[in-house]
Structure 1
């Protein structure tokens, strides 16, 4: 039903292109770990897949009042978003259990390892919840790069503006070698960094080794990241070598005429 109601409009306005859809299995559990540039990320990935996938969303999306609040809640439900109360100390556990329950049913679950949207289009340090979910469930992790969704919906803009967006899906990552080690914080960090490195390679984003929420707090207090000669050297997750990659573009035979 959600594809019937929402899909045609999104296809018409944004003409999404996808690369690597064959990496998503036709059956069985899998975690799709994506970078997070805009609220609409949760709309476009389900749109380009043949299988149903759901993300979790903050409860506030579903509790708004008035016409706008009802429309927002209806749209979020329409694209398969599951509401989770993210306030308090049990928020991470609630999100983890929501994902594990869905994976136990052999379904797809989407997660944003950065925990929140990027404040400036760069890729930020991943939280280890995705690693814990992978090790507890045994499901493969499929890295996903959303392309240009932040240009369609810049931070602070409620409604996206029509423009082409892309989805690049990487090969599944298998972490079965770490089975039973989900309580080892060093293993969790190593797995998370491996996932974030894959996202960096797919998306072509610059990586910043701090949490996105920390950077948002810095910006809010008037301390944005340094740029130019004062900027810190480029880095990659886990201290690895920075990959030589660029932001993906639409296939040439699918690109609009100039």
Structure 2
């Protein structure tokens, strides 16, 4: 297993979180629901809808456990940036690489097998309409490959579309109950991934309250 995957976030993660959380409370007054659904131990795959860049800050700050996530390799370009990014739990991925998607999946798999909590956005990129786009199969592959507990998250009020009608929508981070996927182990792998993806996206939709777009996100290549 690569050393950068095995290394867990250090003290900088906790310092950054202790600074950011009060600022986020003051600015957004987020309502956190169901965080007790995240197991205290073992690998956990957090799967969430994706409305804005704020999502990648809110989830690590308000998850009850340390969250690992992927970031483009250019953010690690200097020794100081590298120290900061690794300190807060980020793992570099070469976004320009032709095998980016596979590299991201393998990195996520290694993180989960090390017992970490790993967060992904199954839509692959942010929703530009506020609708929930179709999920890609990477999250399902990670869940089935590692046996990690899958906890869905529904985010509300973080996208610009939340402010366009009926005033500003409050920010809500809603953790759902862990998903049951064990019954898929006997199915052919492709069918198991499709069924797991459907369950993941249905759970996210129920938590976020979004309508389905029926389409994939443009340019989305994430898990």
Q: How far apart, in 2, do the equivalents of 1:146 and 1:10 lie?
A: 15
Q: Match for residue 100 of structure 2?
A: 91
Using the TM superposition, give the Cα deviation of residue 70 of structure 1 relative to its aligned residue in structure 2, in angstroms. Answer: 11
CA contact (8 A) 2:149 2:178 kept: yes
**Structure 2 matches for 1:121-200, cutoff 5 A?**
121-151=130-160, 164-179=170-185, 184-200=189-205
Q: How far apart, in 1, do the equivalents of 2:23 and 2:155 lie?
A: 19
Residue 12 of structure 1: which of 26, 37, 43 is its match?
26
Q: How far apart, in 2, do the equivalents of 1:213 and 1:71 lie?
A: 33
CA contact (8 A) 2:38 2:64 kept: no
Q: Secondary structure at the match of 1:31?
A: strand
**Runs of 4+ off more than 6 Å:** 69-75
- C-alpha offsets along residues 69-111 of structure 1, whole Å, 9 cap, x if unaligned? 9999888666533331122331111111211111112121000
CA, structure 1 residues 117+185, in 2 after alignment: closer, same or farther (shift >3 Å)? Answer: same
Using the TM superposition, give the Cα deviation of residue 168 of structure 1 relative to its aligned residue in structure 2, in angstroms. Answer: 0.5
Using the TM superposition, give the Cα deviation of residue 5 of structure 1 relative to its aligned residue in structure 2, in angstroms. Answer: 3.1
CA contact (8 A) 1:15 1:163 kept: no
CA contact (8 A) 1:23 1:169 kept: yes
Residue 112 of structure 1: which of 121, 145, 159 is its match?
121
CA, structure 1 residues 71+50, in 2 after alignment: closer, same or farther (shift >3 Å)? Answer: same
Q: Secondary structure at the match of 1:124?
A: coil
TM-score by length of structure 2 reads: 0.79
CA, structure 1 residues 122+31, in 2 after alignment: closer, same or farther (shift >3 Å)? Answer: same
CA, structure 1 residues 100+142, in 2 after alignment: closer, same or farther (shift >3 Å)? Answer: same
Root mean square deviation, CA, Å: 3.0
> Could you say which structure has the larger radius of gyration?
1
